[in-house]
């Protein structure tokens, strides 16, 4: 017999078996509800973090953008302050603006570096966190390295302790670093935006994952509450994105404001009185420069031009090569800027601009340079150019005035020991000789370049040489060292010209200049003598002259010749003395006194320089200090100078003696203050023979003596009317 179970088994065992199956869905739904709830909590948490990060980053982005604008406003305020100082206006408003902006800029920049409370863009304090991004930290450090030195200088200005020179230096420093600071602030803004997006993405990714889990749970668990919450979370995310877009729009607005600030800076650049520009490593002028630069270089459209090529047309070849080397140094990262700036060759240089009317316009320019570094390397150089022509010309005038004073003082000290009558006579001699030089330099004689003309030019040079040598002889006689040196320098120029194989009219320009210099010295001499006479007391009257004694003029000449002999003997180290008959000088006719004076001066100088042997040689010969005429040496010098034909028979002593009177003839190998020019005896011959119509006799015995006898015709008495 079989037994069947009922399909609707309601036994306690069956109920116990079905109970787990009924609890499983509840358990699953409970777990899903917990997942949804946990996901919701996670979404809420990350949403709050996202909102906080978005708000915080928006404020940091706004502050970074504001820093760019503040750097431009600082420059504008500083330039306005300098302009008010120069114009004599009240700079208080500009100073207050400068203080406010620089303080705000400094506090915010420090806030980016170390964190802390800073004034926000909305006027409320904002607790800014310190920058954590390594790239942000690098940008902030480099910006601070440029800003802190400027901030110290601004502190001095704001506190009122800065001199105008310090203000100008601060302005130059701002001009040199403003662009770099602006670039760093722009880079900081971009980097802040980048880190903000990274932080938002870091907060949004976990939230998105939780949303996905919650959505999946929603598909499994009926209900709209969790779905609505997910929707609200999505809306909040969209709001955050919208806020980012709004921040970007605000940055665009700030960029527009920066453009307006740049336009304001450009207007300032149009009024600054210096040429300001930037050049790159290829020396190309940047697109922005001051308007004054075009005025200085007399050329428009300078942007994009090569500054070195521009200077090449204005400088000499040597100066251009130096400038090119210096430009290379400016961009050499191995060279320290301070060392490079110390060797600036363009502090003051002369440039030549073509003159539309013909010729050139000469100006003086002054250049200063400052390097601009990017990532530790020189990327650009800031250049300031000034037209300093007026300053240089003033310095030249001051130096010339100083030279005139020194020259007049030297002349004054040199004439104080000279008798006034002798000084007047010397001035007359110089005047006569300068007139003779001027007569020898007539322009019409230099027009034709022919062999005959060459001889004529050389003859003219010898005439000038005689005049200058006579001036020097009288200067030596009176111990007027200044005029002796001036005449020696003049003779050196003449000797250089006579040594040239060919002469032209332009060669005489140096003579004209030297003559003008001597004439200016003569003017100073006459003026100083007049002042000296006025200063001296005229209380005592001169003692009456003894009728039987030599005249004062002849005594002065004798004393002067003796002093001249002693001076020359001391200079040459040749013991010598001169014996004079003072009465013989006294009986010289009045019209011959100047001729005798000039002749005796030249003979005394020539005798000691050429006729007296060195002391050791004379001591070896057992002779006292007397003169000697060396005919053999004269013969050799005459042959080498072409005064005697090389194939001519042995010349007579008289013929050799005549050679010593030839222009430029000297037995000395080197010229000195007393001999070697070959003009002294030429002057004697010209004055005695050519001008006075006299004659000269020379008698000598080698090793014993040399005697010159001068014969002058009598001066006819003036006819009585």
Collapsing DSSP states into helix, strand and coil, what is residue 575? coil
pLDDT tens-place string over residues 625-682: 543 445 566 666 666 666 666 666 666 666 666 667 677 666 666 666 556 556 667 7
What the block records as the tokens of 468 is 């200058």
Percent of the chain with pLDDT over 90: 10
- Tens-digit pLDDT profile for residues 268-297: 877 888 989 999 999 999 998 899 999 999
CA distance 278 to 290: 10
- The residue that leads in pLDDT, 121 or 291, is 291
pLDDT higher than 90, residue 478: no
Q: What superfamily does domain 394-537 belong to in CATH?
A: HPT domain (1.20.120.160)
Q: How far apart are alpha carbons 545 and 493 in whole angstroms?
A: 45
Contact 573, 613 (CB under 8 A): no
Of the pLDDT bands very low, low, confident and very high (cuts 50, 70, 90), residue 326 is very high
- Judged against a pLDDT cut of 60, whether residue 451 lies above it is answered with yes
Per-residue pLDDT of 186-211, as tens digits, reads 888 998 888 888 878 877 788 788 88
- pLDDT at site 542: 46
Tokens 């040079």, residue located: 461
Could you tell me if 682 and 466 are in contact, meaning their C-beta atoms sit under 8 angstroms apart?
Answer: yes
Among the listed residues 567, 625, 631, the one whose alpha carbon sits nearest the alpha carbon of residue 601: 567
**What does the pLDDT look like over 584-617, one tens digit per residue?**
555 565 566 666 767 777 777 677 766 666 766 6
- Percent of the chain at pLDDT exceeding 70: 71
Q: Are 695 and 688 in contact (CB under 8 A)?
A: yes
Categorize the per-residue pLDDT at 386 as very low, low, confident or very high, splitting at 50, 70 and 90.
Answer: very high
Which pLDDT belongs to residue 383? 94
Res 322 pLDDT > 60: yes
Please, what is the average pLDDT of the chain?
Answer: 77
pLDDT at 643 (0 to 100): 63
Whether pLDDT at 550 is above 70: no
Query: In this model, does residue 541 exceed pLDDT 50?
Result: no
Angstrom distance (rounded) from CA 610 to CA 623: 16
Please report the pLDDT score of residue 543 as a whole number.
44
Q: What is the predicted pLDDT for the residue at 226? A: 56
Please tell me the CATH code under which domain 275-387 is placed: 3.30.450.20
SS3 breakdown of the chain: % helix, strand, coil, rounded to 5?
Answer: 65, 10, 25
| Residue 503: pLDDT band with limits 50, 70, 90 | confident
Residues 175, 150: contact at Cβ < 8 Å? no
pLDDT (average), residues 79-97: 84
Per DSSP bridges, beta strands 275-280 and 377-387 are antiparallel
Q: Note the pLDDT tens digit of each residue in 240-269.
A: 888 888 888 888 888 888 888 777 777 787
Contacts of 81 (CB under 8 A, 6+ apart): 91, 94, 95, 98, 157, 167
pLDDT score at 537: 46
* Joined tokens for residue 456: 């004529």
């Amino acid at each position: 017999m079989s037994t069947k179970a009922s399909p609707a088994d309601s036994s306690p065992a069956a109920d116990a078996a079905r109970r787990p199956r009924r609890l499983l869905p509840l358990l699953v739904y409970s777990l899903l509800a917990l997942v949804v709830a946990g996901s919701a909590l996670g979404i809420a948490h990350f949403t709050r973090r996202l909102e906080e990060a978005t708000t915080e980053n928006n404020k940091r982005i706004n502050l970074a953008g504001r820093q760019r604008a503040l750097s431009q406003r600082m420059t504008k305020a500083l330039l306005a302050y300098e302009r008010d100082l120069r114009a004599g206006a009240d700079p208080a408003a500009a100073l207050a603006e400068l203080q406010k902006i620089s303080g705000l800029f400094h506090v915010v920049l420090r806030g980016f570096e170390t964190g802390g409370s800073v004034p926000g863009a909305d006027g409320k304090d904002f607790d800014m966190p310190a920058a954590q991004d390594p790239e942000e930290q690098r940008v902030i450090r480099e910006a601070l390295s440029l800003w802190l030195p400027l901030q110290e200088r601004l502190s001095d200005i704001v506190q009122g302790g800065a001199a105008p020179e310090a203000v100008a230096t601060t302005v130059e420093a701002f001009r040199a670093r403003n662009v770099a600071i602006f670039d760093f602030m722009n880079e900081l803004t971009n980097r802040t935006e980048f880190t903000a997006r990274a932080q938002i993405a870091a907060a949004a990714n976990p939230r998105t994952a939780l949303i996905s889990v919650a959505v999946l749970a929603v598909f499994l668990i009926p209900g709209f509450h969790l779905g609505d919450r997910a929707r609200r979370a999505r809306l909040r995310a969209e709001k955050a994105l919208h806020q980012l877009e709004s921040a970007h729009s605000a940055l665009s607005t700030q960029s527009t404001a920066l453009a307006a600030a740049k336009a304001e800076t450009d207007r300032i650049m149009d009024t600054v009185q210096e040429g300001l520009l930037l050049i790159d490593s290829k020396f190309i002028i940047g697109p922005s420069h001051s308007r004054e630069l075009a005025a200085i270089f007399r050329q428009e459209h300078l942007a994009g031009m090569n500054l070195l090529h521009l200077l090449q047309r204005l400088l000499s070849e040597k100066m251009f090569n130096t400038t090119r080397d210096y430009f290379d140094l400016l961009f050499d990262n191995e060279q320290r800027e301070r060392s490079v700036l110390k060797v600036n060759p363009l502090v003051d240089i002369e440039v030549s601009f073509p003159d539309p009317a013909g010729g050139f316009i000469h100006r003086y320019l002054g250049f200063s340079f400052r390097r601009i570094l990017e990532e530790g390397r020189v990327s650009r150089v800031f250049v300031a150019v000034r037209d300093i022509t007026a300053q240089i010309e003033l310095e030249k005038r001051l130096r010339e005035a100083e030279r005139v004073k020194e020259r007049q003082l030297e002349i004054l000290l040199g004439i104080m020991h000279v008798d006034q009558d002798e000084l007047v006579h010397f001035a007359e001699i110089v005047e006569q000789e300068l007139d003779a030089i001027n007569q020898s330099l007539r322009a019409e004689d230099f027009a034709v370049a022919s062999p005959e003309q060459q001889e004529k030019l050389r003859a003219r040079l010898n005439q000038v040489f005689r005049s200058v040598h006579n001036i020097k002889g009288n200067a030596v006689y009176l111990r007027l060292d200044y005029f002796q040196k001036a005449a020696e320098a003049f003779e050196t120029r003449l000797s250089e010209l006579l040594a040239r194989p060919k002469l032209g009219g332009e060669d005489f320009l140096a003579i004209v200049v030297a003559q003008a210099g001597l004439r200016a010295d003569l003017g100073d001499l006459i003026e100083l003598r007049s002042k000296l006479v006025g200063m001296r007391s005229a209380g005592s009257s001169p003692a009456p002259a003894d009728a039987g004694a030599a005249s004062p003029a002849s005594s002065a000449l004798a004393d002067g010749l003796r002093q001249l002999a002693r001076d020359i003997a001391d200079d040459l180290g040749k013991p010598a003395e001169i014996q004079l008959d003072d009465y013989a000088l006294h009986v010289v006719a009045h019209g011959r006194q100047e001729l005798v004076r000039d002749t005796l001066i030249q003979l005394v100088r020539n005798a000691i320089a050429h006729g007296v042997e060195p002391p050791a040689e004379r001591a070896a010969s057992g002779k006292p200090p007397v003169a000697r005429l060396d005919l053999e040496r004269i013969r050799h010098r005459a042959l080498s100078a072409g005064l005697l034909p090389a194939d001519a028979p042995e010349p007579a002593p008289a013929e050799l003696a005549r050679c010593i009177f030839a222009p430029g003839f000297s037995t000395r190998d080197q010229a000195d203050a007393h001999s070697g020019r070959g003009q002294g005896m030429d002057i004697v011959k010209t004055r005695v023979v050519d001008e006075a119509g006299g004659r000269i006799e020379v008698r000598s015995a080698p090793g014993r003596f040399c005697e010159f006898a001068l014969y002058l015709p009598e001066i006819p008495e003036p006819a009585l009317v």
